[in-house]
Amino acid sequence: MDKTTELGPMPNHIAFIMDGNGRWAKKRNMPREYGHRFGVKALQRILSHAEKLNVSYLTFYAFSTENWKRPQKEVDSILKLLDQYLSECEKNAEKYRFCIRFLGDKTPFGEKRMKRMCALEARTAAHSRVLQIAFNYGGRDDILHACNRLTSSGAREVTAEQFEEALYTHGAPDPDLLIRTGGDYRISNFLLWQIAYAELYFTDTLWPDFRPEDLDAAIADFRLRKRRYGGV
């Protein structure tokens, strides 16, 4: 890097599309569920590193509204991982020092699991850093959900600020940087409203192999970009 190159600020909010768990497992002749388990380890690794970097907001795309179409065995294994993650957080909620929020419709998870998710959100609400886990989330569903909330309240015309308050992500700033692992170049129905001016970073690295140094590389690339927000 040229010593005269002026670096931009660190991203305040980083969002992740954690792609490649299934392919990572397949390369090792293991079932897809094996890849998801190691995907959780990667999430914990990146979460710890991002905390050291003082990133204030992190959003992880864990399970989309379309992922219910996957084989039932795989869906069940992902829900089991969710239960394990909830148990770990319930025991060590203060350890991570993050306000945990689940984005998406919780109702398909059943009353018991939904209560655990809501209780964890309430228990960690006082933390200043925010960890958002998008589970049963879709960008289109988020927008539709916001529209339904607003119309049910009697609203006929709304401002952008009022609309954003009705989104699952209300209260969080828009992502500055969106990172997608796994080699595909698409958004996959993630944060469609919120990433309007996010910088996009794509890497061939499969999510279970994503390391702190990979996050550092993405942030370094981000800080070299000039963000104009439609200006010059």
- Whether residue 141 is contained in a domain is answered as no
56/174 Cα distance (integer angstroms): 12
- Whether residue 148 is contained in a domain is answered as no
**Tokens 């497992």, residue located:** 25
What distance, in Å, lies between the first and last C-alpha atoms of the chain?
24
Three-state DSSP state, 105: coil
- How many domains is the chain built from? 1
DSSP 158-185: --HHHHHHTSTTTTSPPPSEEEE-SS--
Please give the positions annotated as active site: 19, 67
- Whether residue 188 is contained in a domain is answered as yes
- Whether residue 180 is contained in a domain is answered as yes
- Give the pair of three-digit tokens for residue 12: 């305040």
Domain that holds residue 186: 13-136+173-224
User: What pLDDT, in 10s, does the model give residues 120-175?
Assistant: 999 999 999 999 999 999 999 999 999 999 999 888 899 999 999 999 999 999 99
User: What pLDDT, in 10s, does the model give residues 67-117?
Assistant: 999 999 999 999 999 999 999 888 876 666 899 999 999 999 999 999 999
